[in-house]
């Protein structure tokens, strides 16, 4: 039996951003030795791991050298070198999610085609190799405005996704391989985090409901549990579970879904790692998503995903037109509000819409939590005053 | 207004054990720069602080040099050099708890006399400078067997406290200044954590109930909320609050109390720092004690102390007659139990009764939590198999 705690076992994490940072809260809680690699010397994970390595996550040699020193390797971002992961697996390193799973997800075109092949409900789509093909298809009336455009590779935090409404917008899209999707007139945007360990044991978290910022394509409020019937919530969890099984995913899988106006649950996209939509679990679930991810990849039993009480989460993003050393204005007002816990990711520089932190609001009544969350958003500004 | 988050502000912590380690979870969450000093190179706080300094906490120069580099200085253990703290205050460092408060608490004789002077209910007692005086008083029938003996200085984790039942035990006591207390036939042992910030704003946590190990003088189960009437719970919180105010404490004050068989609340002793009896707050309170202590010493508004759901905590102590590299046997069984979260402090070496970690058990019904906690104790052993 592997001795994970206070031992010579090493967990490697590719990526040193806030998701990795929050994984480190759990590895510190359990005294698990961790190595982290990131390309930035100011990465949030820089302290609290046992060894921090500067390196390019997309570089074959960097990932290979890093991975050879650990027993289990996981990720906090999908944009990593897959060939190195394949080689590491051959050499006996346990990689979760596996490179074969990651390959099905990393490229959004491949991901959509996987749903189609496995009869997982998702919006109609086509995949194009370049902008010319996209424009040609538009000429040929394969699809019409408005529609959703997604870059196949490299999208993150709302980047690489556009709702295209006009010919002008269509003309100014980047020239990249992309996915063209129908724009679904949805009722609500949802997410379900699925945890699945190395033994195939799986659990789902409460369904969360997402309210989005109108233009930045970033989520504003995440409410858990989602305000919906138990029947619909169950349906969403079942679809999410099916997706996780189909991918043979090990670790967390954040499944973003739409509830359509006709009451259908369809899959938007997934991320095989801890996710923004799961941060509520830190204050509000029996087992937070970060501890859960570690249970999964270490082959430990899953923790209970029951929710303790309602929670609303808001993101802290850099205010428009502010860049430089960050100042969290209004923090004292925020801290005086009941049930409010801010999380500061440790990025010293702010810029427009940069994800700098989040705030969790817990309350026994979700309406109250939502109301306090609005006050939180009014009270705090992430600016630069230098 | 002080900028504490992602800034040049520095918080110093004297002591690098598990309490400091858990304070660091919160400073990482809030990106507060921290310096920690401890005399052991293997201290649990070694990683996750920005700067770790090796030094003797009882050495005037070590504490002075360390404290001069920080803006606010706090402690996670009472056994620190007070004169250095007095000098640091003079030089403009904010020290919480203040050396004047610490001086009233650190020496248990001084502490008891403070309660007496301030009409805070506590058991009858005398203070003796040495063993000879204690034995003389016994001869003179000032007190009789059985009684409680407490060393005035240096006691920790149940050390330096004895229930003296026989003449033999009396004769073999160490020769130290000590407190002799009446042995109270109490109903229950309780604790209340009081949080008080620099502005005098104060809040109390739920009353917790402690079940003790018969011989090791260490707590076995901590149940929150305590199983008692609201009326008695309120009384306990009021007494605790009064104690915190009397000491003019800033930060947390863990107040250990007895509920006597006649329904009185009396004070046993206090600790001006995060405390074992408050660990339940991590999984079960709106604001955990560590985040709360930081709010207090930084002069930030206090967080809500409402409890989310019942919690039982058990300590993980080294099994008798095991010393060496630690192995947590039964961890997989423990992790399969619902609502169970282990905390591993990161001490590589175990020994008899050494505090190695704790386990929190949450459940919407306290009876169930207590039952699962018993299973937890049965399933895990902290041993050495090397």
Report how far residue B187's alpha carbon sits from residue B258's, in angstroms, rounded to the nearest whole number: 7
Asked if residue A108 is part of any domain, the answer here is: no
Establish how many alpha carbons lie within 13 A of residue A283's alpha carbon, considering only the half-sphere containing its beta carbon: 30
Asked if residue B264 is part of any domain, the answer here is: yes
pLDDT band at A213 (very low <50, low <70, confident <90, very high): confident
- By DSSP bridging, strand B147-151 and strand B161-164 are antiparallel
Instruction: Please name the residue of chain B whose CA is at the shortest distance from the CA of residue A310.
Output: B308
Asked if residue A333 is part of any domain, the answer here is: yes
Asked if residue B5 is part of any domain, the answer here is: no
- Across the interface, of A21, A328, A335, the residue whose CB is closest to B301 is A335
Show residues of chain A in contact with B28, CB under 8 Å: 21, 24-25, 47-48, 346
Q: State whether the Cα torsion B61-B66-B71-B74 is positive or negative.
A: negative
Do A177 and A193 belong to one domain?
no
Min Cα distance B264 → chain A (Å) is 32
Show residues of chain A in contact with B6, CB under 8 Å: 326, 328, 344, 346-348
Do A69 and A196 belong to one domain?
no
Q: What is the CATH number of the domain that holds A80?
A: 3.40.50.20
Instruction: Please name the residue of chain B whose CA is at the shortest distance from the CA of residue A19.
Output: B29
> Residue B346 is inside which H or E element, if any?
none
Report how far residue A329's alpha carbon sits from residue A386's, in angstroms, rounded to the nearest whole number: 13
Q: What pLDDT was estimated at residue A154?
A: 80
CA dist A313 → A97, A259, B295 (Å): 26, 20, 21
The residue whose two tokens read 């002069």 is B299
Q: What pLDDT was estimated at residue A385?
A: 85
CA dist A279 → A22, A45, A274, A353, B77 (Å): 9, 17, 8, 18, 32
- Across the interface, of B5, B327, B331, the residue whose CB is closest to A344 is B5
- Across the interface, of A24, A47, A287, the residue whose CB is closest to B50 is A47
At B257 the three-state DSSP class reads strand
Do A35 and A175 belong to one domain?
no
Min Cα distance A274 → chain B (Å) is 16
Share of chain A above pLDDT 90, in %: 94
Contact A5/B308, CB-based, under 8 Å?
no
Q: What pLDDT was estimated at residue A216?
A: 66
pLDDT band at A377 (very low <50, low <70, confident <90, very high): very high
Q: For A162-208, write each residue's pLDDT tens digit.
A: 999 999 999 999 999 999 999 998 999 999 999 999 999 999 999 99
What is the residue-wise DSSP string for A82-114?
HHHHHHHHHTT-EESS-HHHHHHHHSHHHHHHH
Q: What is the DSSP letter of B106?
A: H
Do A230 and A164 belong to one domain?
no
Do B74 and B90 belong to one domain?
yes
At A357 the three-state DSSP class reads strand
Do B203 and B329 belong to one domain?
yes
Report how far residue A180's alpha carbon sits from residue A127's, in angstroms, rounded to the nearest whole number: 6
Q: What is the DSSP letter of B318?
A: B
Query: ∠ CA(A216), CA(A218), CA(A222), 5° rounding?
Result: 145
Show residues of chain B in contact with A336, CB under 8 Å: 301
- Across the interface, of A50, A287, A345, the residue whose CB is closest to B47 is A50
Asked if residue A2 is part of any domain, the answer here is: no
Which residues lie closer than 8 Å to A208 by C-beta, 6 or more apart? A190, A191, A192, A222, A223, A224, A225, A226, A277, A278, A280
- Cis link prior to B118 (omega < 30° from 0)? no
Query: ∠ CA(B379), CA(B380), CA(B382), 5° rounding?
Result: 160
Contact B335/A47, CB-based, under 8 Å?
no
Q: What pLDDT was estimated at residue A157?
A: 67
Q: Among A181, A205, A225, identify where a domain stops.
A: A181
Asked whether A310 and A364 are in contact (CB, 8 A), the reply is yes
Mean pLDDT of all residues in A286-315: 97
Asked if residue B116 is part of any domain, the answer here is: no
Instruction: Please name the residue of chain A whose CA is at the shortest distance from the CA of residue B18.
Output: A29
Q: What is the CATH number of the domain that holds B222?
A: 3.30.470.20
Distance of CA B147 to the CA centre of its chain: 23
Q: For A275-284, write each residue's pLDDT tens digit.
A: 999 999 999 9
Distance of CA B243 to the CA centre of its chain: 16
Asked whether A361 and A371 are in contact (CB, 8 A), the reply is no
At B375 the three-state DSSP class reads helix
Do B157 and B190 belong to one domain?
no
Instruction: Please name the residue of chain A whose CA is at the shortest distance from the CA of residue B347.
Output: A6
0.90 exceeded by the pTM?
A: yes
Q: Among B150, B181, B212, identify where a domain stops.
A: B181
Residues of chain B with pLDDT under 50: none
Whether residue A265 has pLDDT greater than 70: yes
Report how far residue A174's alpha carbon sits from residue A152's, in angstroms, rounded to the nearest whole number: 12
Do A84 and A161 belong to one domain?
no
Q: How many structural domains does chain B have?
A: 3
Q: For A29-46, write each residue's pLDDT tens digit.
A: 999 999 999 999 999 999
- Across the interface, of A5, A49, A327, the residue whose CB is closest to B331 is A5
3-state secondary structure string across A161-172: EEEECCHHHHHC
The domain of B165 spans 124-181
Establish how many alpha carbons lie within 13 A of residue A204's alpha carbon, considering only the half-sphere containing its beta carbon: 20
Q: Among B157, B181, B205, identify where a domain stops.
A: B181
Report how far residue B17's alpha carbon sits from residue A210's, in angstroms, rounded to the nearest whole number: 40
Q: For B189-203, write each residue's pLDDT tens digit.
A: 999 999 999 999 999
Instruction: Please name the residue of chain A whose CA is at the shortest distance from the CA of residue B346.
Output: A31
Q: What pLDDT was estimated at residue B212?
A: 81
Min Cα distance A374 → chain B (Å) is 18
Residue of B11, B301, B345, B350 best to disrupt the A interface, most CBs of A under 10 A: B301
Q: What pLDDT was estimated at residue B155?
A: 78
Torsion angle, CA of B22/B156/B195/B115, rounded to 10 degrees? 180
Q: For A119-145, write each residue's pLDDT tens digit.
A: 999 999 999 999 999 999 999 999 999
Do A159 and A192 belong to one domain?
no
Residue of A1, A10, A21, A30 best to disrupt the B interface, most CBs of B under 10 A: A30
Instruction: Please name the residue of chain B whose CA is at the shortest distance from the CA of residue A333.
Output: B301
Contact B286/A339, CB-based, under 8 Å?
yes
Q: What is the CATH number of the domain that holds A131?
A: 3.30.1490.20
Do A347 and A246 belong to one domain?
yes
Show residues of chain A in contact with B198, CB under 8 Å: none
Show residues of chain A in contact with B331, CB under 8 Å: 4-5, 300
Asked if residue A174 is part of any domain, the answer here is: yes
Do A131 and A266 belong to one domain?
no
Count of CB atoms situated within 10 Å of the CB of A8? 8
Contact A25/B24, CB-based, under 8 Å?
no
Contact B346/A28, CB-based, under 8 Å?
yes
Strands (E) located in A10-165: 10-14, 33-38, 51-54, 72-75, 94-95, 125-128, 147-151, 161-164
Asked if residue A131 is part of any domain, the answer here is: yes
Dihedral-angle region of residue A364 (phi above 0 means left; psi in -120 to 50 means alpha; beta otherwise): alpha
Report how far residue B132's alpha carbon sits from residue B140's, in angstroms, rounded to the nearest whole number: 12
Report how far residue A334's alpha carbon sits from residue A361's, in angstroms, rounded to the nearest whole number: 10
Encode burial over A28-49: b for 16+ CB neighbours within 10 A, e otherwise: bbbbbbbbbbbeeeebbbbbbb
Do A150 and A226 belong to one domain?
no
Report how far residue A95's alpha carbon sits from residue B26's, in angstroms, rounded to the nearest whole number: 30
- How many residues appear in chain A? 386
């Amino acid at each position: 039996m592997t001795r994970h705690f206070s031992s010579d076992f090493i967990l490697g994490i590719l990526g040193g951003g806030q998701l990795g940072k929050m994984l480190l809260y759990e590895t510190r809680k359990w005294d698990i030795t961790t190595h982290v690699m990131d390309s930035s010397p100011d990465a949030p994970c820089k302290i609290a791991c046992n060894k921090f390595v500067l390196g390019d996550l997309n570089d074959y040699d960097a990932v290979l050298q890093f991975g050879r020193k650990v027993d289990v390797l996981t990720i906090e971002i999908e944009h990593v070198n897959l060939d190195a992961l394949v080689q590491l697996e051959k050499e006996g390193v346990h990689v979760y999610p596996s490179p074969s799973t990651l390959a099905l997800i990393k490229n959004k075109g491949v991901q959509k085609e996987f749903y189609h092949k496995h009869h997982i409900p998702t919006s109609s789509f086509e995949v194009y190799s370049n902008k010319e093909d996209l424009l040609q298809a538009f000429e040929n009336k394969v699809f019409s405005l408005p529609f959703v455009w997604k870059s196949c590779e490299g999208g993150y935090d709302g980047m690489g996704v556009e709702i295209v409404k006009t010919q002008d917008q269509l003309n100014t899209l980047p020239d990249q391989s992309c996915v063209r999707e129908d724009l679904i007139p949805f009722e609500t945007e949802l997410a379900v985090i699925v945890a699945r360990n190395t033994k195939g044991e799986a659990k789902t978290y409460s369904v969360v409901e997402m309210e989005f910022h109108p233009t930045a394509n970033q989520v504003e409020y995440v409410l858990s549990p989602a305000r919906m019937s138990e029947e619909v919530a169950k349906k969403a969890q079942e679809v999410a579970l099916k997706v996780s099984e189909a991918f043979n995913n090990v670790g967390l899988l954040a499944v973003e879904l739409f509830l359509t106006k006709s009451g259908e649950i369809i899959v938007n996209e997934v991320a095989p790692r801890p996710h923004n939509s799961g941060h509520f679990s830190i204050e509000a679930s029996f087992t937070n998503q970060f501890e859960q991810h570690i249970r999964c990849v270490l082959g430990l039993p899953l923790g209970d995903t029951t929710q303790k009480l309602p929670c609303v989460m808001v993101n802290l993003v850099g205010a428009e037109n502010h860049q430089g050393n960050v100042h969290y204005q209004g923090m004292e007002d925020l801290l005086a509000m009941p049930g409010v816990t801010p999380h500061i990711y440790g990025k010293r520089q702010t810029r427009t819409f940069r994800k700098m932190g989040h705030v969790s609001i817990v309350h026994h009544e979700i309406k109250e939590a939502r109301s306090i969350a609005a006050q939180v958003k009014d009270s705090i500004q992430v600016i630069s005053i230098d």
